[in-house]
Structure 1
């Protein structure tokens, strides 16, 4: 068995900064969305993905891939959104196994309100505290990570 390729001190420092910063930022975004709009970050992300889809509608399998959630987790999250009247699900007419998630008018209105507050949190804790070239570097870095993970 070969020896692991341990991180050097600077790699470890940067890795820990990423882990700690991303966890804390997600916690802040989640707390803010829940307090102001009754949405979790994962619920918000589903609303965003549906709002960007043609007709504000996606197959559940595609939505799971786009929102980076397992199919079972997505199903539970969509059930919560359905009970709030923000999403509705319909069977696919051409594929009996397929199910669509559709953003409702209330869901779109909720997303519009939440997005105004959410963007301010993103700006306050990320965009406005780093240099533009660092933001570009983050974008390049995570595009490479997503490519490696096969998520592009």
Structure 2
């Protein structure tokens, strides 16, 4: 059997035309945002996103498992990330007194201040690199498309790539 036997190919050229620029642009954008944040604030994009998620959470705290899911991190990756951020004084790990198995990540005042300081420059960079080059209709389309993709991916984390992914997610509880 040859190397190309059994390979999956694009269903049509439009799929490839949509995918390639998306993946390349998203990687470039993430790299540029991360480099810019580090240069200006000493904070990585992952640091920023953890602080942002915690700042938007009730009482600025989340269970570690929930934060890992929101960040799309493995539990061990999140534990490492939180340890690094604890050393900077941005977050604390707290154990519930009534259940020692439950750990929370908690945003500190120092972390909130660091987020606000980074926000000033980061939002301007996002606008310069991403939103300023698009008109309102394009932004609406992107918001709609990426919200739908996010919903599909969050609804079906167990989706096996071998199944083809054509099934509609169950949205009966929405």
SS of 1:58's equivalent in the other structure is strand
Deviation at 1:11, TM superposition (A): 2.4
2:10 maps to which of 2, 6, 13: 6
In 2, Cα distance between equivalents of 1:3 and 1:76: 38
1:119 maps to which of 117, 123, 134: 123
Deviation at 1:151, TM superposition (A): 5.1
SS of 1:98's equivalent in the other structure is strand
TM value normalised by structure 2? 0.81
- Which residue of the partner structure matches residue 51 of structure 1? 55
- Which residue of the partner structure matches residue 172 of structure 2? none
Higher fraction of helix: 1
- Which residue of the partner structure matches residue 24 of structure 2? 20
Deviation at 1:150, TM superposition (A): 2.4
SS of 1:63's equivalent in the other structure is helix
Aligned residues: 152
- Which residue of the partner structure matches residue 104 of structure 2? 100
- Which residue of the partner structure matches residue 163 of structure 2? none
Deviation at 1:44, TM superposition (A): 0.5
SS of 2:99's equivalent in the other structure is coil
Give the number of the structure whose alpha-carbon radius of gyration is greater. Answer: 2
Deviation at 1:147, TM superposition (A): 1.7
| Structure 2, gaps ≥5 residues long | 157-174
**Deviant stretches of 4+, over 3 Å:** 1-5
Alignment of 1:13-92 (within 5 A): 13-92=17-96
Shift in alpha-carbon separation, 1:151–1:127, aligned structure 2, 3 A: farther
